[in-house]
Amino acid sequence: MNTAAAGQRFTLKVPDPPPPLVIDTDHNNNTNNNSTSVAIIGAGPSGLLTACLLKKQNPTLDVKVFEMRDRPTSFYGSFPVVLNKRGLTALQHLDAAAAPPTRNNTTGNGAEASTMLEKLRYCGRIVDGIEILSQDKVVAMADTYGICIMRDQLVGLLLEAADAFAIPIYWQHKLLALDLDHRSASFTQQPYHDAETPAVENNTKTKTLTVSVTQILIGSDGNYSRVRRECEKHKRLTVQDWSWGISMRYLLASDPTTTTTTNSTTQDTTPPPAHPIDGGIHYVLGSDAYVCQQPDGDWSMSLSLNEHSDDFLLSNDPTPDNVAKLKAFCHTVSHSFTNGLLSDTTGNTITTTDEVYASFFRNRVFNGSIIKCSTLAPTDWIALIGDAAHAVAPFTGEGVNSALESARILSTVMTEDNRQHNHSRTTTHEYDMLRRPDAHALCAYALRNRKLVAGTPAQKCTNTFGTIVLGLLKKLGWVTAVPQDLMLGAKAQEYDQPIPYTQLMALDHAQRWCLDPVGTCCFYTICCTCCGRCN
Ligand SMILES: Cc1cc2nc3c(=O)[nH]c(=O)nc-3n(C[C@H](O)[C@H](O)[C@H](O)COP(=O)(O)OP(=O)(O)OC[C@H]3O[C@@H](n4cnc5c(N)ncnc54)[C@H](O)[C@@H]3O)c2cc1C
């Protein structure tokens, strides 16, 4: 059982702002002198890692990062992600050779930890295993190798490294448009606001500015990437996209083993959980929910919502009626987890905390797209990485890991290209050649998983059949590993480097090409003959 590490919440000293850029005026008519060799759009995990790796390899390189949001001051919120072998390997490139100096102006991030891996371990929570449950019964389990960390914690650790490299980050700079012919990018400079942080009334005119890019512009601006959309608008690439197939909404509860107070309004007489709950294990509750313990000890139950879900699940109003419906819904998803996690234990009495349920209605609903780009190098000076290039759905478990890997690959290509040929024009195409097959294989994997979560009963049944047969073959020693074992699984540790997605998808195809048709046949002949209700 894991124990929560101390001090996962940390603060960073704010560095001096970077040299100001010239705002466009009628007078300079966009002919200012703003320029950079490398412009990175988006200070998420992939953008920050690329910036740090480039600076590590070449401290004199002119790299500027542009981010539409404010500089974060708290590094905890958002959602939990699991860093696996792929993501951890990419992050460890920061440690090799010239690591950034250890800073002493940081509190609570394990300042004594010198390597990125040590910091991640300190801030996050080790994931030892994953269990798949149906009706509160374990149907599959596997040992894993990973660290669960909040997405914003990861950004905080990378920001700390970026500050140590003195990388200029222009916060509140939102990319508006690209001039593909003149190799420049234009931004608005304004306080960030979204649905949760409404705009402050302000009569000042929005400032815009233009920056010319001499070497490369890197689109690391996430799922709804403006860089990608600008290139698509100018027909430099084509994009296929699919919705995740579900929306996700989180229910957060304090760790019941440490909770001492209760504000319950109702008495629940149901017995304690039959299934023991362990913070080192992540739980997949069929296609309905995902449960894990966050680094700070709170438990998160993320519910999958789809077009058939009841309206109350999308409501923002914690009315007593909605709270009661949610409670009932959680019991149908998992009696065991609902009793074990979403309850406070007071002596021998289990009482249900309505506030836990009420908070669900205040949490945002997440949704997004699975993205496949015809190229990751829409021009000879623009490259796409991370979610901008190959976004997948959260249930794929590879979003942040593939984003970090792309950052590592692009920075390596750029460094080698500079060193060997010194002609940067082919850099983006080299990167595309190296990364696109993998990005497309990742998309195929994401679409395959989408069928498990949001597919038809026949598709879900087919997959379960294959998983059970492959599990048996593994027990018999006839199959050494399935792709999942080589991603999040502990088996990934046996390899020096992460296995490319192309190889993983080839393995998946080889293992399932005959199992899948048999599974489908079984579904139609056995299940449908049996009751036929689920199709
Ligand atoms: C609910 C949820 C759960 C997830 N769970 C997992 C998980 O368990 N495992 C996993 O591997 N992955 C998970 N992911 C995916 C993971 O978070 C992403 O794959 C990862 O954050 C991608 O990193 P990125 O740097 O490419 O993009 P992002 O993290 O999206 O960062 C993009 C940055 O660009 C900025 N930006 C956007 N537009 C502009 C603009 N026009 N101008 C300037 N800046 C801009 C944004 O503000 C942001 O800071 C999850 C995602 C969500 C939403």
- Give per-residue pLDDT as tens, 240-265: 999 999 999 999 888 876 654 333 44
> Rounded to the nearest 5 degrees, what angle is found at the Cα of 433, between the Cα atoms of 428 and 434?
100
Residue with CA at minimum distance from ligand 1 atom 3:
394
- Give dist(CA 304, CA 325) in Å, integer: 16
Listed range (226-235, 277-286, 329-338, 350-359) with the worst mean pLDDT: 350-359
Give the confidence band of 222 by pLDDT, cuts at 50, 70, 90: very high
- Give dist(CA 57, CA 496) in Å, integer: 22
Phi-psi region of 297 (alpha: psi -120 to 50; beta: other; left: phi over 0): left
pLDDT at 24: 82
> Rounded to the nearest 5 degrees, what angle is found at the Cα of 453, between the Cα atoms of 448 and 459?
60
Q: Which residue has the higher pLDDT, 263 or 468?
A: 468
Give the single-character DSSP code of 11.
B
| CB neighbours of residue 111 within 10 Å | 17
Q: Which residues pair with 174 in a beta bridge?
A: 188
Q: Which residue has the higher pLDDT, 109 or 400?
A: 400
Q: Is the pLDDT of residue 339 over 70?
A: yes
Q: Give mean pLDDT, residues 100-126.
A: 68
pLDDT at 105: 39
Q: How far is the CA of 223 from the centre of ligand 1 (A)?
A: 7
Mutate to test the pocket of ligand 1, among 400, 443, 449 (most ligand atoms within 8 A of CB): 400
- Give dist(CA 54, CA 215) in Å, integer: 13
Q: How far is the CA of 398 from the centre of ligand 1 (A)?
A: 12
pLDDT at 422: 52
Closest-lying ligand 1 atom to the alpha carbon of residue 398: 11
Q: Return the top range by mean pLDDT from 48-62, 443-457, 510-524.
A: 48-62
pLDDT at 380: 94
**Tell me: the pLDDT tens digits for 69-106?**
999 988 877 899 999 999 999 999 998 654 444 433 34
Q: Return the top range by mean pLDDT from 130-134, 324-328, 395-399, 522-526.
A: 395-399
Q: Give mean pLDDT, residues 412-427.
A: 71
Q: Give mean pLDDT, residues 126-140.
A: 86
Q: Which residue has the higher pLDDT, 458 or 373?
A: 373
Q: Which residues pair with 209 in a beta bridge?
A: 187
Q: Is the pLDDT of residue 269 over 60?
A: no
Q: Is the pLDDT of residue 397 over 60?
A: yes
Beta-carbon contacts of residue 231 (< 8 Å; ≥ 6 apart): 178, 180, 219, 237, 378, 379, 382, 384
Q: Is the pLDDT of residue 463 over 90?
A: no
- Give dist(CA 442, CA 433) in Å, integer: 15
Mutate to test the pocket of ligand 1, among 49, 67, 130 (most ligand atoms within 8 A of CB): 67
- Domains in the chain: boundaries: 35-244+367-442, 247-365, 456-530
Q: How far is the CA of 352 from the centre of ligand 1 (A)?
A: 34
Give the confidence band of 522 by pLDDT, cuts at 50, 70, 90: confident
Phi, psi of 283 (to 5 degrees): -120, 130
- Give dist(CA 308, CA 30) in Å, integer: 51
- Give dist(CA 245, CA 369) in Å, integer: 9
Give the confidence band of 372 by pLDDT, cuts at 50, 70, 90: very high
What is the b/e burial string over 270-309, where b = at least 16 CB atoms within 10 angstroms of the residue's CB?
eeebebebebbbbbbbbbbbbbbbbbbbebbbbbbbeeeb
Q: Is the pLDDT of residue 110 over 70?
A: no
pLDDT at 260: 42
Q: Which residue has the higher pLDDT, 65 or 421?
A: 65
Q: How far is the CA of 325 from the centre of ligand 1 (A)?
A: 32
Q: Pick from 98, 453, 57, 90: which is nearest to 248 by CA?
A: 453
Residue identified by tokens 């998803």 is: 333
pLDDT at 266: 43
Look up the CATH architecture of domain 35-244+367-442: 3-Layer(bba) Sandwich (3.50)
Residue with CA at minimum distance from ligand 1 atom 4:
394
pLDDT at 29: 58
**Tell me: the pLDDT tens digits for 295-304?**
988 899 999 9
Residue with CA at minimum distance from ligand 1 atom 14:
394
Q: Give mean pLDDT, residues 357-380.
A: 95
Q: Give mean pLDDT, residues 414-441.
A: 82
Give the confidence band of 112 by pLDDT, cuts at 50, 70, 90: low
What is the b/e burial string over 152-189, where b = at least 16 CB atoms within 10 angstroms of the residue's CB?
bbbbbbbbbbbbbbebbbbbbbbbbebebeebbbbbeb
Residue with CA at minimum distance from ligand 1 atom 35:
42
Q: Pick from 483, 490, 493: which is nearest to 143 by CA?
A: 490
Closest-lying ligand 1 atom to the alpha carbon of residue 192: 47
Q: Is the pLDDT of residue 423 over 60?
A: no
Q: Which residue has the higher pLDDT, 133 or 70?
A: 70
Q: How far is the CA of 346 from the centre of ligand 1 (A)?
A: 39
**Tell me: the pLDDT tens digits for 1-23?**
333 343 457 788 999 999 999 88
pLDDT at 197: 59
pLDDT at 11: 82
Half-sphere exposure of 137 (CA within 13 A, CB side): 2
Q: Pick from 483, 421, 401, 410: which is nearest to 82 by CA?
A: 401
DSSP string, 284-296: EETTTEEEEE-TT
pLDDT at 527: 63
Q: How far is the CA of 92 from the centre of ligand 1 (A)?
A: 20
Name the helix (H) or strand (E) containing 445.
helix 427-454
Listed range (206-215, 250-259, 446-455, 502-511) with the worst mean pLDDT: 250-259
* Cβ atoms 136, 335 nearer than 8 A: yes
Q: How far is the CA of 403 from the centre of ligand 1 (A)?
A: 9
Average model confidence (pLDDT) across the chain = 85
Q: Give mean pLDDT, residues 178-188.
A: 96
Residue with CA at minimum distance from ligand 1 atom 15:
399
Q: Give mean pLDDT, residues 323-336.
A: 88
Please list every protein residue whose CB sits less than 6 Å from any atom of ligand 1.
41-47, 66-69, 79, 81-82, 151, 174-175, 220-223, 226, 248, 366, 368, 386-387, 394, 397-401, 403
pLDDT at 292: 93
Q: Give mean pLDDT, residues 425-442.
A: 93
Cα-Cα-Cα-Cα dihedral sign, residues 441, 444, 449, 450: positive
